[in-house]
């Protein structure tokens, strides 16, 4: 038996079009839902096996509610992305003319995508938000009033409405991206993206430290978004999409490195991507490219060294002020450096010698600071 799939209904939405046309799902196994929350809850409660949620639009950006649901429903996995070209239509009951329209119903995203057209052609009409574009069409079809809906051509056929204007959108290219959700991870395939969700500590450079790991492995980031944690003002949860599968060697390296840099971290899924042009690439770097990358790393090393010196300067003042002596600290640092270098395949002797030079310089600076008046 084919899996059942839920989508934002009623019938006639763009979500249904993505399910039946792009995914070619048998209509017998499709379930229209009243809310996106219901789609997710149904998967966790085993009412159906899969669900489809809109993620972002090329004109109006991310769908915040979908990202909030992905953050909340931790047991759901992204199985695939679907890209659907969207063409809105201005729908009215038969006989209603443009000059008669008093209200326009639609989903907030559709109203935003057609904002320019509505302001120029229907400036006096009241805009009414609905749960979906198909809900809008259904409402207008029952009204017998001079109302209009922004919805699909399929909704016009289903609810017997007249198309007054075809494609009143703001942009020449209007594409909505969807996530197919389930509870099972997909097998390894090519042309994959992966989505991770994480939080970080509130300190300078915390986000940069995470994102820099992707750059070091030449992994392309395709989307970065922050959502409020809903716990504290100024506290955010980050979602990042990138090219590659969780089982790719370079992705594994990045995942291992960033877990320790995050307060919380989880993989929302690796999934087939329809954007093959950005995820199916293999470009051999020239010597100039490699040298440029090395220069970037060298600059970062110097920035980190400068930051380390400033921290040790502060530590010197603190120890002087509080009479602290920690003679075994240097030994611990060198031992830790040797151990970590072994784990990363670096000669521990070389790492130890480098850290000895750094520590000797730090000690010299600390003596100079202590000999003057410390201001901590």
Please answer whether residues 264 and 236 qualify as being in contact, where contact means their C-beta atoms are separated by less than 8 angstroms: no
Six token digits for residue 78: 């992204």
Please answer whether residues 225 and 239 qualify as being in contact, where contact means their C-beta atoms are separated by less than 8 angstroms: yes
A 10 A CB-CB count for 223 gives 14
Bridging pattern class, strands 103-106 and 147-151: parallel
Q: Which of 7, 14, 105, 178 is catalytic?
A: 178
Please answer whether residues 251 and 245 qualify as being in contact, where contact means their C-beta atoms are separated by less than 8 angstroms: yes
- Angle, in degrees to the nearest 10, between helices 36-44 and 64-72: 20
In degrees and rounded to multiples of 5, residue 222 shows phi and psi of: -105, -15
d(CA 207, CA 350): 30
> What are the C-alpha distances in Å from 191 to residues 53, 72, 81, 248, 287?
21, 27, 11, 12, 27
In degrees and rounded to multiples of 5, residue 349 shows phi and psi of: -65, -45
176 is catalytic: yes
Please answer whether residues 185 and 270 qualify as being in contact, where contact means their C-beta atoms are separated by less than 8 angstroms: yes
What residues contact 234, with CB distance under 8 A and at least 6 apart? 202
Bridging pattern class, strands 89-92 and 147-151: antiparallel
Q: Which of 30, 176, 194, 239 is catalytic?
A: 176
d(CA 4, CA 26): 9
Please answer whether residues 191 and 129 qualify as being in contact, where contact means their C-beta atoms are separated by less than 8 angstroms: no
Closest C-alpha among 42, 45, 16, 38 to residue 178: 16
238 is catalytic: no
Six token digits for residue 342: 């072994």
Max Cα distance, the chain (Å) = 91
d(CA 318, CA 367): 13
Active-site positions read: 176, 178
């Amino acid at each position: 038996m084919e899996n059942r799939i839920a989508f934002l209904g009623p019938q006639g939405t763009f979500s249904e079009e993505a399910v039946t046309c792009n995914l070619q799902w048998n209509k017998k196994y499709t379930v229209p839902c009243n809310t996106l929350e219901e789609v997710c809850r149904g998967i966790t409660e085993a009412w159906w096996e899969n669900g489809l949620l809109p993620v972002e639009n090329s004109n109006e950006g991310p769908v915040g509610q979908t990202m909030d649901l992905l953050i909340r429903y931790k047991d759901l996995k992204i199985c695939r992305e679907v890209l659907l070209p969207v063409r809105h239509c201005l729908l009215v009951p038969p006989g209603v003319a443009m000059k008669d329209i008093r209200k326009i119903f639609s989903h907030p995203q559709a109203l935003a995508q057609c904002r320019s057209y509505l302001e120029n052609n229907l400036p006096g009409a009241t805009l009414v938000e609905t749960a979906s574009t198909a809900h809008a069409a259904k409402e207008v079809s029952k009204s017998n009033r001079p109302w209009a809906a922004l919805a699909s051509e399929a909704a016009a056929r289903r609810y017997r409405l007249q198309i007054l204007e075809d494609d009143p959108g703001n942009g020449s290219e209007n594409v909505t991206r969807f996530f197919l959700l389930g509870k099972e991870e997909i097998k390894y395939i090519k042309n994959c993206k992966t989505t991770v969700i994480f939080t970080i500590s509130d300190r300078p450079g915390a986000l940069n430290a995470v994102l820099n790991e992707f750059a070091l492995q030449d992994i392309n980031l395709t989307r970065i978004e922050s959502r409020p944690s809903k716990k504290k003002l100024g506290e955010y949860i980050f979602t990042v999409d990138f090219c590659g599968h969780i089982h790719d060697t370079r992705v594994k390296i990045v995942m291992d490195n960033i877990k320790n840099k995050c307060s919380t971290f989880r993989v929302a899924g690796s999934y087939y991507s329809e954007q093959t042009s950005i995820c199916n690439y293999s470009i051999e770097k020239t010597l100039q490219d490699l040298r440029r990358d090395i220069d970037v790393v060298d600059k970062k090393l110097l920035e980190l060294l400068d930051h380390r010196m400033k921290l040790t300067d502060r530590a010197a003042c603190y120890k002087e002020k509080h009479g602290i002596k920690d003679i075994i600290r240097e030994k611990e640092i060198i031992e830790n450096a040797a151990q970590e270098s072994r784990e990363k395949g670096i000669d521990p002797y070389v790492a130890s010698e480098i850290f000895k030079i750094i520590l000797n310089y730090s000690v010299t600076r600390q003596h100079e600071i202590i000999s003057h008046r410390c201001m901590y």
